[in-house]
Structure 1
Amino acid sequence: MKAATLLAFGSPLSIGAVPDPVPGTGEVVVDVVATGVLPYTADVFSGARRYPLELPVVPGCGAVGRVRTTGPDATRLSPGDWVFCDPTVRSRDGGLAPDITLQGWSSRGEGGLRLQKYFHNGPFAERMMVPTENAIPLGVIDEADAGRWCAAGVALVPYGGLLATGLQAGETLLVSGATGNYGSAAVATALAMGAGCVVAPGRNERTLADLVRRFGSRVRPVTLAGNEDADRARMQAAASGPIDCVLDILPPSVSATVVRAAVMAVRPFGRAVLMGGVGMLGGDDLSLPYPWIMRNCVSIQGQWMFEPSAVFGIIALVRAGLLDLGQFEVSEFALDNANEAVAHAAAHAGSFRITVIRP
């Protein structure tokens, strides 16, 4: 089969033939119809993101496709079924703390690296093998819409964080990083879940205005000025009442003071979930005052990616018409043009844009 392979960090993808995957027990081979190219893909391939990724590898992070073959223990999936390939692979012997690898993308810890050696190659290929539980049925879709369904994978990441916040209908949420690719998807997803008000801080006034245009008065934009205390006060003033929970999804390039300004805007007994990349590439770590956390009974949680059930939830939100994937502008490339797709994703990063490879 044909695939795009990353042979070395800093080198372009090599397009050529690789062996076909062969499924065993607990595995499924999927014909990849569309796979999203994340805006920071070029930084991963250059090595700038320092992701633990063993090379050579067929990269990528999640896909939409059709089942080709299944292992002997599959009881529901059949060849031809449309599925979403969840990239978050968990060790089956991990019990309460499974090791995790993002297939074709990254991993966590020594156990995640071991898992990556087996579930190694990602979706920049005509076919990929995934654990049976990672092939999530989509139901019937139009093949022409497969690229747009990749946008569900963008919304799925912040959805995992929103589930971790315990967001309830009618609550006020603050999305730290609301003008980014994942952050803007977080705003859309939170509103689909019934958030009464979403405070959206950011520096890009054009994107903030676009969020209001798309979603109306339930979005409360806040232009950040760079002063931590003043920015926090503006976020709190923009809300319709106390801020119940905060989701931080800022990238590694942002200062930790921006995160702290947002997190400390939450009300007493509020919740904050951290799932961005701040501090991953050096710089100051997030410093939160112990007395403030303790005396205000604030809950702070880390969340990497999402729980397995979240995939079913995001599909249900789309099927119900609550989350509109039509909000996303989709740009598609053939597998032979994978390097052009990576460059396009970097040059056209931003809210409600997705670059897709269609093998």
Structure 2
Amino acid sequence: MRAAVLTEFGAPLTVQEVPDPVAGLGEVVVDVLATCVAPYAAEVFSGARNYPLVPPVVPGTGGLGRVAHIGPDATRLRVGDLVWCDPTVRSRDDALTPDITLQGWSSRGDGGARLARYLHDGAFAESMRVPTENVFRLPATAEDDVARWASLSVYVIAYGGLLAGGLAAGETLLVSGATGNLGSSAVALALAMGAGRVVAPGRNRAALGLLTDRFGPRVRPVVLSGEEAADRAAMSAAADGPVDMVIDLLPPSAPSSAARAAAMTVREYGRVVLMGGVGMLGGADFALPYPWIMRNSVTVRGQWMYPRTANVGIIRLLASGAPDLAHERNRSFALDDVNSAVTYAAAHGGPFDRTVLTPSAG
């Protein structure tokens, strides 16, 4: 089969022939029809993000495809099924604190690195080998526009964060990083899940305008100044009442002060969920004040990716039409154009912009 291979950090991906994947016990081989190219993929491939990928490697996180082969322990999947492949692979020998790798992308700790050595390659290939428990059948409606459904890889992360924070209908949510690719998805999902209003801070006025045009007065935009105290006051004022929950999805380039200003708008007994990249490239610590957390009984929770059950929930939610994938701005690239896709994704990382690679589409 053909695949896009990262031979070394800083080098372009090369499309080459590689051995066909073979499914073992507890595994499935899927022919990849569509996979999203992350806006920050160029930073990963250059080495700037210092991800623990080990070249040569086929990168790519998750994808949509058709089942080509199933192992003997699969009882529901069938060859030809259209499926979503969750890249979040967990070790099977510790149910309480499993090791995790993001197949073809990243890993956590020594155990995650061991998993990554075994499930080394990701979705930038005509076929990929995936653990059976990471394969989820898609509804018939996904057949109509597989490339558009590839945005599932973005929505499921935001959905996992909203689940972690226990977002309830009618609540006010503040999305720190709302104008980004991931943050804008959190805005859409929160409204679909019944949030009363969503405070959307950012510096990009055009992106904020896009959110308010699409969702109306339930979105409360805030243009940030970069001054922590003033921004905190502006976000609190925009909420027009208590902020029940904050989810932070800011990228590594964002200063910790921006994340802290957003987090400290939350009400007494409120919840803060941290899912972004602040601090990954160094810089000042997040540094929430201990007395503020304690005296206001604030819950602060980190969430890396999402639980396995979130895959089922997000597929159902997208199938319902809320949020409506018709608003996605998709640009598809063939496998041979993978480097153009990476470049395009870097320049189109705003709200609802998706760059899609279609490895098995012709």
Please give the range of the TM-score, normalised by the shorter of the 2 chains.
Answer: over 0.9
**Aligned positions of 1:264-303 closer than 5 A:** 264-303=264-303
Q: Which amino acid in 1 is paired with 2:277? A: G
Once residues 77 and 189 of structure 1 are traced to their aligned partners in structure 2, the CA distance between those partners, rounded to angstroms, is 28
Q: CA deviation at 1:321?
A: 1.6
Q: Is the partner of 2:269 in helix, strand or coil? A: coil
Q: Displacement, 1:230?
A: 1.1
TM alignment of 1:1-359, pairs within 5 A = 1-141=1-141, 143=143, 145-359=145-359
Q: Which amino acid aligns with 1:11?
A: A
Is contact 2:88–2:100 with CA below 8 Å preserved after alignment?
yes
Q: Distance in 2 between matches of 1:331 and 1:325?
A: 14
Distance in structure 1 (CA, Å) of the matches to 2:151 and 2:190: 15
**Does the Cα contact within 8 Å between 2:148 and 2:325 map onto a contact in 1?**
yes
Give the Cα separation in 1 of the matches to 2:350 and 2:280: 21
Post-superposition CA distance 1:68-117 (Å, at most 9, x none):
00011000000000100100000001220000000000001111000001
SS in 2 for 1:270: strand
- After TM superposition, the runs of 4+ consecutive aligned structure 1 residues lying more than 3 A away are 141-144
Q: Which runs of 5+ in 2 are unaligned?
A: none
**Cα distance in 2 for residues equivalent to 1:33 and 1:141:** 15
Shift of residue 66 of structure 1? 0.6
Answer whether contact 1:152 1:325 (CA < 8 A) is retained: no
Q: Indicate the SS of the match to 2:355.
A: strand
Report the Cα distance in structure 2 between the residues aligned to 1:99 and 1:142, rounded to whole angstroms: 31
The whole-number CA distance in structure 1 between the counterparts of 2:59 and 2:144 is 23
Q: What is the CA-CA distance between 1:141 and the residue it aligns to? A: 4.0
Aligned AA (1:319): A
Amino acid at match of 1:220: R
Indicate the larger mover: 65-74 or 346-355.
346-355
For the Cα contact (< 8 Å) 2:39–2:348, is it kept in 1? yes
Q: Distance in 2 between matches of 1:142 and 1:18?
A: 29
* CA shift for structure 1 position 14: 1.0
Look up the SS of the partner of 2:268 in the other structure. coil
* SS of residue paired to 2:291: helix
Quote how far apart the aligned CAs of 1:55 are. Answer: 1.2
In 1, the alpha carbon distance for the partners of 2:219 and 2:146 equals 29
Partners of 1:171 and 1:23 lie apart in 2 by 45
Superposed displacement of residue 54, structure 1: 1.3
Structure 1 residue 331 displacement after superposition: 0.3
Partner SS for 1:31: strand
Checking the alignment, whether the CA contact within 8 Å between 2:244 and 2:267 is kept in structure 1 is yes
Give the TM-score normalised by the residue count of structure 1: 0.99
Deviations 1:171-208 (CA, angstroms, capped at 9, x unpaired) = 00000000000011110011011100000000011111
SS in 1 for 2:183: helix
Give the conservation status (yes or no) of the 8 Å contact 2:139–2:319.
Answer: no
CA distance in 1, matches of 2:326, 2:305: 23
One-letter identity of the residue aligned with 2:342: V
What is the DSSP-based 3-state SS (H/G/I as helix, E as strand, rest coil) of the residue aligned with 2:145? helix
| Higher mean C-alpha deviation, range 88-97 or range 268-277 | 88-97
- CA drift of 1:243 comes to 0.2
Q: Secondary structure of 1:305's partner?
A: coil
Task: Provide the rounded CA distance (Å) in 2 between the counterparts of 1:144 and 1:356.
Answer: 16
Q: Aligned equivalents of 1:96 and 1:188: distance in 2?
A: 32
Letter in 2 for 1:255: P
- The DSSP-based 3-state class of the residue aligned with 2:35 is strand
How many pairs does the alignment contain?
A: 359
Distance 1:329 1:76 in 2: 34
Amino-acid identity (%): 63
Secondary structure, aligned partner of 2:3: strand
> Using the alignment, how far apart are the partners of 1:218 and 1:347 within structure 2?
29
| Cα distance, 1:322 vs structure 2 | 1.4
The AA in structure 2 aligned to 1:230 is: A
Amino acid at match of 1:172: T
How far off is 1:142 after superposition?
5.4
Q: Distance in 1 between matches of 2:26 and 2:285?
A: 40
Whether contact under 8 Å (2:142, 2:149) holds in the other structure is: no
Cα distance in 1, alignment partners of residues 312 and 193 from structure 2 = 14
DSSP 3-state at the match of 1:330: strand
Q: Could you give the per-residue CA deviations for residues 29-56 of structure 1, whole angstroms, max 9, x where no partner exists?
A: 0010001100000000000000011111
- Whole-Å separation in 2 of the counterparts to 1:56 and 1:336: 18
SS at match of 1:159: helix
